[in-house]
Chain A
Amino acid sequence: GQNIDQPTEMTATEGAIVQINCTYQTSGFNGLFWYQQHAGEAPTFLSYNVLDGLEEKGRFSSFLSRSKGYSYLLLKELQMKDSASYLCAVRDEWDSNYQLIWGAGTKLIIKP
């Protein structure tokens, strides 16, 4: 079956670094995506990984290990506005519509 796991909730301090993990078991793999969703709003695209390794984009980085079925999102220099849910999603290789399989999301709480 298709399964994506990520922690339900995490807490971190403003200015610190936090790593949100995601593990997946899917029938195929054609890329992993991270989205940010603030409460009451729609998700916004953050990053995409399809090859092993680290992709850096400003304060946010995303890592992928396909052999381990594992990814993480790393957020540096945390700001209060980073308080949001972070969704991990995988694109199944066989889906021509580019449907995404979604994790339940990790709610990140930033404390001053």
Chain B
Amino acid sequence: GAVVSQHPSRVICKSGTSVKIECRSLDFQATTMFWYRQFPKQSLMLMATSNEGSKATYEQGVEKDKFLINHASLTLSTLTVTSAHPEDSSFYICSARGRTGRTDTQYFGPGTRLTVL
């Protein structure tokens, strides 16, 4: 149980294009999903928290107009990187809040490696 999928797993795009990443909870409903980015050999950096049916809450320093988040259903959240630039190249990981025995925790998707040329 508590499986999260993410698509695509890897994407290479030209500078200036937009890229959409999908995050799905496959066997549970996730009222809350989280989007992270991780640079090589660095820790997870939370970008935003999204609740189904409402606007995402962005962390300080994250541009909401550049990283568009839509949480349209209890099993799907999308992150769109608009007008991507080489500095946006990173490993983007989503997680979904789900239940594990005694508590809720975050279950992670496999991640999307974005390379902007």
Contacts and interface: CB of A to CB of B under 8 A. Distances in A.
Interface string B42-60: 1110100101000001000
Looking at chain A's contact residues, the main secondary structure is loop
- Give the secondary structure class of B's interface: strand
Contacts of B108: 35, 42-44
A99 interface: yes
Given A42-B111, A103-B43, A98 B106 contact: yes
A42 to B, nearest CB: 4
Contact of B109 (A42, A48, A102, A103): A42
A79 to B, nearest CB: 22
A43 B46 contact: no
Q: How large is the interface on B (under 10, 10 to 19, 20 to 34, 35 or more residues)?
A: 20 to 34
Contacts of B49: 97, 99
Nearest to B101: A48
Interface string A85-99: 001000000000111
Contacts of A45: 100, 105-107
A97 B51 contact: yes
A33 B105 contact: yes
A50 interface: yes
A100 interface: yes
A48 B97 contact: no
B81 to A, nearest CB: 18
A66 B68 CA distance: 38
Interface of A: 31, 33, 35, 40-45, 48, 50, 87, 97-100, 102-105
Given A41-B111, A42-B110, 12 more contacts: A35-B108, A42-B93, A42-B111, A44-B108, A48-B101, A48-B102, A50-B102, A50-B103, A87-B44, A97-B49, A97-B51, A104-B43
6 contacts: A31-B103, A42-B6, A44-B108, A98-B97, A99-B46, A99-B49
